[in-house]
Amino acid sequence: MINVTELRPGNYFEDGGNIYLVLDILLNKTAMRKMVAKVKVKNLRTGAITDMSANSGYQVEQIRLDKKKMSYLYDNGEFLVFMDQETYEQIEMPKSNLEWEMKFLKENLEVEIVTYNDEILGINLPAKVALKITETEPAVRGDSVNKALKNATLETGLVVKVPLFIGQDEEVLVRTDTGDYDGRA
């Protein structure tokens, strides 16, 4: 057990049957009151980001999550299938839990599967993913006063803004945290 005031961003803890990731913490102490911790957390089972407040004496259970490298294989309609490269063990995850991550998944992409007591909580993507452009708007000449960008549709269906000089069938790097173009692959 750990006091709520000792939590730091990046810590995982269990409280009330839910598993949380600490995103941010603010400690507030006034003269006549106990210290109050305002913690911004992400519920790893639901994906909801909320704020919770607790007095300094409140105890939570700090936990460690297990992470395992696996490769994305395919989408079977309802589930996404991943495989361990060493043991060839396959697991399925519901598509509803990975709506954001699906925008970056392509065959054989290596990801980290996050588990706690054999319960699969989600996946961690690499910071950047190389994806091929399947369709892009034609470049408009003369618009070079500011940073000219055009829409490009990637192989996963994600639409990103790319510079005018990027063409169809090129591979680009996309940031997985924001979904923005980051450069040529």
Backbone angles phi, psi at 146, to 5 degrees: -115, 180
DSSP letter assigned to residue 145:
S
Q: How far apart are CA 94 and CA 99, in angstroms?
A: 9
End-to-end, the C-alpha distance of the chain in Å comes to: 46
- Percent of the residues in the chain that have a pLDDT greater than 90, as a whole number: 26
- Mean pLDDT, residues 79-90 taken together: 90
| Mean pLDDT calculated for residue range 81-110 | 87
CA distance linking residue 23 with residue 35, whole number of Å: 19
> Residue type for 10, please?
G
pLDDT of residue 24: 92
**pLDDT at residue 25, as a whole number:** 92
Q: Give the per-residue pLDDT at 47.
A: 78
Q: Which residues contact 78 (CB under 8 A, 6 or more apart)?
A: 94, 95
pLDDT tens string 115-125:
888 888 888 88
The residue type found at 103 is: K
Mean pLDDT score of the chain: 87
Q: Is the pLDDT of residue 103 over 70?
A: yes
pLDDT, position 132:
92
pLDDT per residue as tens digits for the range 30-83:
888 888 899 999 888 887 889 999 988 899 999 988 888 999 998 888 888 999
CB 129 within 8 Å of CB 104 = yes
pTM over 0.95: no
Q: Which tokens hold the place of 123?
A: 């996946």
